Amino acid sequence: MENTLVGNKIILKLIEKEDMKKRAEWINDIEIQATLNYDFPTSISKTQAWFQKAQMDSSRREFSIFNKETNEYIGFCGLFDIDYKARKAEHHCVIGNKAYHSKGYGIDAYKVIVNYGFKELGLNRIYAFQRTNNIAAHKLVEKLGWTREGLLREDLYSHGEIRDRYIISILRSEWKNNKIYEIN
pLDDT tens column, 50-59: 999 999 999 9
pLDDT tens column, 146-158: 999 999 999 999 8
Domain count of the fold of the chain = 1
Q: Which of 37-46, 50-59, 172-181 has the lowest mean pLDDT?
A: 37-46
Roughly how many angstroms between the first and final C-alpha of the chain, as a whole number?
Answer: 17
Strand intervals (E) in the chain: 4-6, 10-14, 61-67, 73-83, 88-95, 125-131, 147-158, 161-171
Q: Can you say how many angstroms the Cα of residue 167 is from the centroid of all Cα atoms in its chain?
A: 14
Give residue 36's pLDDT: 79
CATH code of the domain covering residue 138: 3.40.630.30
Give residue 61's pLDDT: 97
Quickly state the pLDDT bin for 2 (edges 50, 70, 90). Answer: low
pLDDT of residue 91 exceeding 60, the answer is: yes
Quickly state the pLDDT bin for 167 (edges 50, 70, 90). Answer: very high
- Sequence-ordered alpha helix ranges (H) in 5-93: 20-27, 30-33, 44-55
Structural domain of 28:
4-181
Quickly state the pLDDT bin for 4 (edges 50, 70, 90). Answer: very high
**Rounded to whole angstroms, what are the CA distances from 41 to 45, 47, 72?**
12, 11, 24
pLDDT of residue 184 exceeding 90, the answer is: no
Quickly state the pLDDT bin for 159 (edges 50, 70, 90). Answer: confident
